[in-house]
Structure 1
Amino acid sequence: MNQMYTIALGGLLVLSPLSMAMAAEKTVFQLPKINVVANLVEQANTDTLAAVTVIEREEIERKQFSSLQDLLRTIPSISYVNTGGLGQTTGLSIRGTNSNAVLVMVDGQKLASATTGQTAIEHLPIDQIERIEVVRGPRSSLYGSEAVGGVIQIYTRKGTADGIKPYASLKYGSHETYDANVGVDIRKENTWMSASLAGLKTQGLDVLTSKTEEDKDGYKNVSASLKAGHQFNELFAIEVNALHVQGEAEYDGGVNPENEIQQNVYGAGLTFTPNDIWTSKFNVGISQDKYETFDSKKTTGKFDTEKQTVSWLNTIEFNKNHSLVAGVDYLNDKVTSSTDYDEKERNNIGLFTQYIGQFNAVNLQAALRSDDNEQFGQHTTGNIALGYQFNDYYNAYMSYGTAFRSPTFNDLYYPGWANPNLEPEESENIEIGFKGSQLIDWELIGFVNKIDNLIANQNNGQAKIKGIELSLGQNFDALSWNVNYTYQDPENQNPNAKGKQLTFKPAQLFNASLDYKVEDWTIGGSVHAEEKRYTDALNTAKLAGFAIADVRVAYQVTPEFSVQAKLANMFDKEYYTNNSWNGDVYRQDGRTAWVTLRYAMK
């Protein structure tokens, strides 16, 4: 714990003088970031009565992230477990919840395996991502199942400038890693299209430390995305999107074992705006998660799942201070597998409504949703938040929300250990937040999340997770920095382990990042630190805490062409986030180096 405090204090001491010096020179601030994920309507982050983070394409490229999971863990309260580097199985946690209690969406479509309930984020290519919005805390009142810990909304590439704008990047780095991306944005008047193709190949790591002979477990990934739309007139607009991802990863165990995964997301939407106050959106979509394992090139398991969705969302803005959101959505989950499940399909219909209002300095948000599921029946969730705007720069809020997670097909029907009588997990969350945006953007948020009916063959699990999140940041023309610190107490409340820390959930997290621009050069660095995590329910075994530091540099050769370089984990820290069933630990990257060439037509 003392190490965490030292790291956090050191980061603040380094950043504060630089930010104050820059503040003396600059008085112009960036416009606040806008999110849609929290309430299904556009709101400034500073005005949203929830904990929200938005990361744009510019930040993704500037910080030279190599994977989606490494990007996400820079956000408060997010950590992950990983089984050995790029392309290896990764589970994400928000505020101490399990990975199947985090809802991940791509261009508005839920993406997760219906058998495990988890999204294979390790395969989602960062080159295809334009923007990420994350709301921390429950949002089942709008999205239904899985949104217990929070919601991650991923938007694929989409250009906004007129004309034809091609772009490309080429990266080479440690473990003989090659990463390439090429795409084009086209926009003319009321019609636009964006298309992108990306590929990655790496020799990878020897993922298990217990191996006596070095056997690198390689990974490769190819992906393509397409987005297009047309504004017919003031009444109608249409948009379509598609994302295809295919990955192959080797791993330790068996004879030449590997797994192949395919992720597909297809969607189409129609927007109808009959007048100044009413907007109606109709969307249909399909997401697929296909997973197959091989041993000596023979199939050892196949799990293909598909989600078919239809939604109708209506927003009525009575005036700038009062709006109503109402909608209905339909979800069909389907499983095709080499494993014989008793049931292979189920439907869910959700009805929801939300009111957002402002009464002078008081803000109010209230939402209610009812889900009717073919397997477990009806479930109702809600959320209410009350905020107070002290002035143009400072506000505070309190909120209460409930959420749930449906049992997966593995929970219910996997042969040999499933329980078809399981009920959904349920949670109650109380949150208090303070936000400010004068000179420094900051927020201080406290939360308590109580989860009942945790699923482990029986609905007998309980947990209580409480914590505090502190975030600080500034963005100027030449200087950009941010710091966040999370303290959480993910407490197991099962009788046999009451008071113990939930497994693989660190109690403290810290992130700091700084970038400074001098003429055509940009230099920067980041620090990420986590406290220890326990690997068993009684907290008798643990993985040590760690802190890693990155440095980066970029040179803008021309307005269109740039060169970037990054040294990750520069002190070659040995650390682990996960272990196997027999206690072996999975390696994480030591010191790695990367060089990236980028081109983007202006």
Structure 2
Amino acid sequence: MIEYRTCLLATAALLAATSAHAQTAPSVAADDNSIVVADWRAIPDIIVAAGVAQQPDQIGQAVTVITRDEIERRQTVSISDLLTTTPGVTVSRNGGIGTVTALRIRGAEGEQTLTIIDGVRVNDPSSPGGAFDFGNLLAGSVERIEVLRGPNSVPWGSQAIGGVVNITTVTPTQGLQGRASAEYGSHNSLFATAGVSGGAGAVTAALTGGYLRTDGISAAASGAEPDGYRQYGATGSVGIAFTDDIGLDLRAYYAHSKVDLDGFPPPDYSLADDAEYSTAQEIYGYAGLHANLIDGRFRNRVAFTIADINRDNYDPAYGSAPSFFGRGRSERYEYQGDFKLSDQLRLVAGAEHEDSSYYDGSLTHRSGITSFYGEAIVTPIEELTVTGGVRHDDNRDFGGHTSVGANAALALHEGTTLRASYAEGFKAPTLYQRFSDYGTGHLHPETARSYDLGVEQKFLDGRATVGVTWFHRDTTNQIDFRPCDPADVTNPDTICFHRPYGTYDNIERTRAQGVEFELALHPIEAVTVTGNFSYIDSVNRSPGANFGKDLARRPKETVSVSADYRLPFGLSVGGTISHVGDSFDDAGNSRRLDGYALAGLRAEMPIGDHLVLYGRVENVFDEKYQTVADYGTYGRTAYGGIRVKLN
């Protein structure tokens, strides 16, 4: 480990020394794992979720981009509510805002989505499947979201089986900018945020802060007592340009959340009102040095990142000590080099090491993984971009694993873009799955293979776009929680004798396949229409009683349409309609979750150049539905607010 850190630091020193003597060139330094450096942000179409910064027509995989303008137009508070209206994405939540929220891409487990915030992998080693909990991710500081659908382990490594969600918060700028907003609405909800960014000479900085509190709804659908939520948080970033070609990027993210829960109190031991609650503290940090060599054609990045998540559950009925205690921590050391040899060939290579730990209140469990990868991006003709790569992960506990991937994008002059990709995914069992009270030591790593084909067509001089993507993914050794059969609990030859409530096990095989349809219309400046339809067939392919049955909480069909119209005097009105099909709450498909449709209306009115008044009504028709059996969801709600922007 000492040798690895020394190597990275020596590389950083070499880059700085070499670049100081390089010819002056326009800066194209980019942190290719997040869109944070200002030079790349000047090109708004650049996408990095595929691993390195590329134009959309150079990427052979399906990527959805959500900008700050759309976040504000949709009046988003919880990022998960916005993502659930994107192609191939479904979301389940155990109650109101702030409760455990799982995001699934193309039918994969929520734990198989890799989430990145400002270049930091934020998946939690102390959570059961190592997932990032989207329940606490609020929109106040988010500037941009990229959702890559499908495995992509070559640049991203472990956990990117379902896809990648890459999130960028407010970034430093040279000119002074500021924004603030506050809203109030149903369930005594208050959401307020503020942010400022600016720079002087070689230094730029940005800072945001936010606060949310709500009385909430009952987490138990049968309950009458509301379960509240509170979060305060902040993000910050600093950029220092030592020269035109060398820069330092520092970023930090902090959030502290508290949510009231419902549990399974005696005598019935069924989900009902009680006094349980949970707290979470999330701290993410990034420190990276970038340097450009050879007239800016050789971009280099050395970085250290940290993710520290503390989670505690409390049940006052049993005292003041936590009923669940989890401390998850990941530290990563990264190097990436991106060398544009010519207009036709670009080579990318990287080395990474991650140390992760999980502390359960009595014991600390650790693991580590060292990785090397390389990619070639070839453009044999102007219209065609082919990307291929290989990655080797050496896991401390599970040995080596090699992943390969390739994709191609053909952008024709008639506005047609054809895409094709093959990608592999790899995910080792988590520390919780191995060492918790429900863990088992015989688990095998999950692996996946995915194929997709897509076509995109632009019309009306780019004001209309239609896209269709077909995909197929096979996953081997997928890990899931297996409840124990009562007969096994008394059998000392089974693991259930020691884990009577159940344990984690490999399912062997699952399959997901389907099609995604997307539509975007901007026929005139005042009108914006987007829509998508996804059909996802995700099933268990392991021999046994559940063979051929749907995976839990995976609706087959989802539809979403959003439209906005700005009137000549400035008033904007819009709405979103979403439909989610039927699904099952359990692996045996014995408990159905009925499909549902949700409609929302919104409006905003500018007052002068810097002030906007806005309001919205969600679940207009007061639909009754559940995304997790027995857990409550919001009925009709209404909110109003004010937004200020200075630049």
- Report the TM-score when normalising by structure 1: 0.91
For 1:468 and 1:564, the matched residues in 2 are separated by 36
Q: Which residue of 2 aligns with 1:433?
A: 454
- Residue 424 of structure 1 aligns with which residue? 445
With 264-273 and 392-401 compared, the bigger mean Cα shift is at 392-401
Query: 1:484 corresponds to which residue?
Result: 532
User: Structure 1: how far apart are the matches of 2:413 and 2:178?
Assistant: 44
Counterpart pick for 1:101 among 87, 112, 117: 112
Alignment of 1:370 with 2:392, yes or no, is yes
Q: How far does residue 39 in structure 1 lie from its aligned partner after superposition?
A: 3.0
Identify the match of residue 78 of structure 1 among 89, 104, 107. 89
Match of 2:489 in 1: none
Is contact 1:381–1:402 with CA below 8 Å preserved after alignment? Answer: yes
The answer on whether the counterparts of 2:107 and 2:538 sit within 8 Å (CA) in structure 1 is yes
Q: Aligned runs of 1:327-476 on 2, under 5 Å?
A: 327-338=350-361, 340=363, 344-360=365-381, 361-415=383-437, 417-439=438-460, 440-456=464-480, 457-475=504-522, 476=524
Shift of 1:362: 3.2
Deviation readout 1:461-495 (Å, 9 max, x if unpaired): 31110010010103453221111100111111122
Quote how far apart the aligned CAs of 1:332 are: 0.6
Q: Could you tell me how far 1:387 is from its partner in structure 2?
A: 3.3
Aligned counterpart, 1:11: none
Q: Does structure 1 residue 168 correspond to structure 2 residue 180?
A: yes
Partner of 2:208: 196
Match of 1:89 in 2: 100
CA distance in 2, matches of 1:80, 1:540: 21
Does the 8 A contact of 1:387 with 1:396 survive in 2?
yes
Question: Which protein is richer in strand relative to its size?
Answer: 1
Instruction: Return the offset for 1:520.
Output: 1.5
Partner of 1:552: 602
Quick check: 1:365–1:384 contact (8 Å CA) kept in 2?
Answer: yes
CA contact (8 A) 1:33 1:54 kept: no
Return 5+ residue gaps in structure 1 as ranges.
Answer: 1-30, 580-584
User: Structure 1: which amino acid aligns with 2:75?
Assistant: Q
Other structure's SS at 2:290 match: strand
Q: Secondary structure at the match of 1:208?
A: coil
Q: 1:529 aligns with which of 573, 579, 590?
A: 579
C-alpha displacement of 1:340: 4.1
Contact 2:455/2:469 (8 A) holds in 1: yes
SS state at 1:437 partner: strand
- Displacement of 1:32: 7.4
> How far, CA to CA, are the matches of 2:201 and 2:65 in structure 1?
28
Separation in 1, partners of 2:175, 2:118: 24
Cα offset, 1:386, TM superposition: 2.9
1:599 aligns with 2:610: no
State the 1:537 CA deviation: 2.1
CA distance in 2, matches of 1:46, 1:64: 29
- Aligned residues of 2:574 and 2:601 also touching (Cα < 8 A): yes
Answer yes or no: is the 8 Å Cα contact 1:492–1:501 preserved in 2: yes
Structure-2 residue corresponding to 1:145: 158
Match of 1:260 among 258, 279, 283: 279
Q: CA deviation at 1:230?
A: 1.8
Q: 1:244 aligns with which of 242, 254, 269?
A: 254
TM superposition shift of 1:536: 2.1
The SS at the match of 1:127 is coil
User: How far apart, CA to CA, are the structure 2 residues paired with 1:501 and 1:195?
Assistant: 45
The offset of 1:167, in angstroms, is 1.7
Distance 2:397 2:424 in 1: 20
Distance in 2 between residues matched to 1:452 and 1:258, nearest whole Å: 36
The offset of 1:392, in angstroms, is 5.0
Q: What's the offset of the Cα at 1:540?
A: 2.5
Write the letter of the residue equivalent to 1:129: V
Query: For the Cα contact (< 8 Å) 1:412–1:419, is it kept in 2?
Result: yes
Q: Distance in 1 between matches of 2:384 and 2:234?
A: 45
In terms of mean alpha carbon deviation, does 454-463 or 265-274 score higher?
Answer: 454-463
Contact 2:476–2:509 (CA under 8 A) maintained in structure 1: yes
- What amino acid does structure 2 have at the position aligned with 1:209? A
Whether the 8 Å CA contact 1:135–1:151 is kept in 2: the answer is: yes
- Give me the whole-angstrom Cα distance separating, in 1, the residues matched to 2:414 and 2:47: 19
Residue 623 of structure 2 corresponds to 573
Tell me the amino acid that sits aligned with residue 479 of structure 1: V
> 1:115-126 maps to which residues of 2 (within 5 A)?
115=126, 116=128, 117-126=130-139
Q: Which residue of 2 aligns with 1:26?
A: none
Q: Give the Å deviation of 1:339.
A: 5.4
The answer to whether the 8 Å contact 1:329/1:351 transfers is yes
Alpha-carbon RMSD across the aligned residues, in angstroms, is 1.6
User: Once the two structures are aligned, what percentage of the paired residues are identical?
Assistant: 26
Report the Cα distance in structure 2 between the residues aligned to 1:263 and 1:220, rounded to whole angstroms. 14
1:54 aligns with 2:65: yes
Indicate the SS of the match to 1:525.
strand
Which residue of 1 is the match for residue 238 of structure 2?
228
- 2:198 is aligned to 186
How far is 1:210 from its partner? 2.6
Higher deviation after alignment, 487-496 or 474-483:
474-483
2:258 counterpart letter in structure 1: E
Partner residue, 2:339: 316
Taking the aligned partners of 2:348 and 2:466, their CA distance within structure 1 comes to 29
2:314 is matched by which residue type in structure 1? F
The alignment partner of 2:80 has SS state of helix
8 Å CA contact 1:165, 1:186 repeated in 2: yes
- For 2:520 and 2:507, the matched residues in 1 are separated by 42
Q: Classify the secondary structure of the residue corresponding to 2:164.
A: strand
Deviations along 1:278-301, whole A, 9 cap, x unmatched?
010111111111100111143222
In structure 2, what is the equivalent of residue 21 of structure 1? none
Instruction: Find the residue that maps to 2:632 and give its secondary structure.
Output: coil
Shift of 1:420: 1.6
Report Cα offsets for 1:324-344 as digits up to 9, x if no partner.
Answer: 110011111011222546xx1
CA pair 284-32 structure 1, distance change in 2 beyond 3 A:
closer
Q: Distance in 1 between matches of 2:361 and 2:100?
A: 20
Alpha-carbon deviation of 1:275? Answer: 1.8
Residue 372 of structure 1 aligns with an amino acid whose one-letter code is D
Aligned residue identity for 1:559: D
Give unmatched runs, 5+ long, in structure 2: 1-42, 266-273, 481-503
SS of alignment partner, residue 187 of structure 2? coil
Q: Which AA in structure 1 matches 2:473?
A: N
**CA offsets 1:505-550 (integer angstroms, 9 cap, x no match):** 0000111111111232111111111101111223222111011011
